[in-house]
Amino acid sequence: MINLFLILLGKFTLLISRSLNLGHGSTWPGHVALSINKNFIKQIFKKSKSKIVFIAGTNGKTTTAKLIQTILEQNGKKVFINQSGANLLNGISSSIIEHSTMFGKIRCDYFIFEIDENTLPLSVSEITPDYLIILNLFRDQLDRYGEVDTIAKNWKKSINKLPESSLVFLNVDDPKIAYIGKGINAKKLFFGLNDKGLGQKDFQHASDSLYCPNCDEKLEYETVFYSHLGIWHCNKCNLKRPLLSIDNTSYYPMSGIYNRYNTLASVLFAKTIGIDETNINNALENYSPAFGRQEKIIIDNKNIQLFLSKNPTSFNESLRTIKELNAKNILIVLNNRIPDGLDVSWIWDIDIEKYVDGFNQIFVSGDRCFDMGLRIKYALENQKSKIKNQNYNSKFKILENLNDAIKISLEKTPEKNVLYILPTYSAMLEIRKILTGRKIL
């Protein structure tokens, strides 16, 4: 009876929140439910026949969830997902409240959960997933998560407890993710890249896991796709990347090497549950990016594209991708609020020196705009010393007020060009509210 009351209360909260445009209501109903009944999630799922999909990783969770949702829905499946990146237990609980009947029944084929890095062990103890997709592990919000070694160990302990009935999909181009799958009871499939033409020889400054997770010897790489993801092996203990279940697919709906991994994970999942490649590709051709993840917005006939850039690795990949898209005007927005992590020292691990020369205009805003401004100043000075015929002072401007930053950067962007905005997480939410007039969370 208590759960029925919590569902009714949660649905009322959702209705009020959305009616008054106060946000999506994707966390508070679940927070209240778990505060009153800590077993709320377990009890609701005992009555459900839905297949449960967990998606974990530092980068790419929301995109991969949306890709899988698109494929499933385009092929006649009913899907529910914890919307808007609400990937803590309160977000999971809120999704249950939103998508259940007044009597606590969930009527869908698949329930997809994005899982926060710290929450994965607890989530696995609360719910046994039918499918678990692990994308990658990078430094992110060190003040909150800690180093990747600690997270990887906690993940492995929890995944070791999964039964044989669970199926785990692992991005084994990441050595720590590959090692997590070693010796587990659950069934497993592997995805990664084999096209060495996509790789490079040098590591980025943000590379995290260059040592063998089994014996701590420095790993050898045939090629590096980005950060520490690549074709690797250990000369000391002979640990190496497992044989891949999938390494390519015929259609990628989004730009960037990092989105190839998201797509491969989604396609492998879809093929595993019996959807053929033609139907998968037809679905992916109708894919629309999730909010802030290469999302395109048109304002006053000007084109804007958002690239969520929340840690060194994602920022580097955003820069790499927009360079391939011939970006000329960019707006970088750096916040250090709770969703972003309070420590912004990571900006010094961005390889921005490689890219600043190609931009005509660089605008900077956000709560920590002067920190980012200093970082870019050093990058520009470095390039200025190499190339004498450009006026670097004219291409760089700090604008503390975000509204002004968006307005001025748009004014300076020609109609045929695209303004590329690279925000941290809270900044992305703020930008979307300014551009669309609606909160997400």
Indicate if 226 and 299 belong to the same structural domain: no
Residue 59 pLDDT: 94
Q: Are residues 256 and 364 in the same domain?
A: no
Q: Are 169 and 266 contained in the same domain?
A: yes
- The pTM for the full model equals 0.87
Report pLDDT for 25.
52
Judge whether 162 lies within some domain. Answer: yes
What percent of the chain lies above the pLDDT cut of 70?
88
Confidence grade of residue 441 (pLDDT, cut at 50, 70, 90): very low
**Same structural domain, 316 and 253:** no
441, part of any domain: no
Q: Which of 266, 284, 302 is the last residue of a domain?
A: 284
CB burial class (10 A; 0-12, 13-18, 19+) of residue 148? buried
d(CA 126, CA 120): 10
Together in a domain, 232 and 313: no
8 Å CB contact between 104 and 3: yes
350 in a structural domain: yes
Whether 249 and 354 share a structural domain: no
> Domain boundary at 239, 258, 284, which?
284
Q: What average pLDDT score do residues 369-373 get?
A: 97
CB 175 within 8 A of CB 212: yes
Average confidence (pLDDT) over 183-193: 97
Q: What is the mean pLDDT of the chain?
A: 88
Q: What is the pLDDT of residue 386?
A: 58
CATH code of 302's domain: 3.90.190.20
Query: At residue 440, does pLDDT exceed 50?
Result: no
Distance CA(84)–CA(113), nearest Å, equals 11
> For the segment 257-294, what is each residue's pLDDT rounded down to a tens digit?
999 999 999 999 999 999 999 999 999 999 999 888 99
If we measure between CA atoms, which residue out of 359, 342, 348 comes closest to residue 424?
342
Please identify, among 284, 316, 349, the residue that sits at the C-terminal boundary of a domain. 284
* Shared-domain flag, residues 176 and 245: yes
Is 110 within the bounds of a domain? yes
Q: Are 267 and 301 in the same domain?
A: no
**Domain with 21 in it: what CATH number?**
3.40.1190.10
Same domain, 30 and 145: yes
Question: Residue 308 domain-assigned?
Answer: yes
Contact between residue 224 and residue 230 where contact means Cβ atoms under 8 Å apart: yes
Among 93-107, 162-176, 216-230, the least confident range: 93-107
Inside any domain, residue 85? yes
Q: Does residue 86 sit in the same domain as residue 122?
A: yes
State the Cα angle at 165 between 44 and 50, rounded to 5°. Answer: 35
Q: For strands 418-423 and 302-307, give the pairing.
A: parallel
Same domain, 316 and 214: no
Number of domains in the chain: 2
Q: Is residue 153 part of a domain?
A: yes
Shared-domain flag, residues 275 and 326:
no
Contact between 137 and 171 (Cβ < 8 Å): no
Q: Domain of residue 325: give its range.
A: 293-436
* 209 part of a folded domain: yes
Question: Are 253 and 67 within 8 A, CB to CB?
Answer: yes
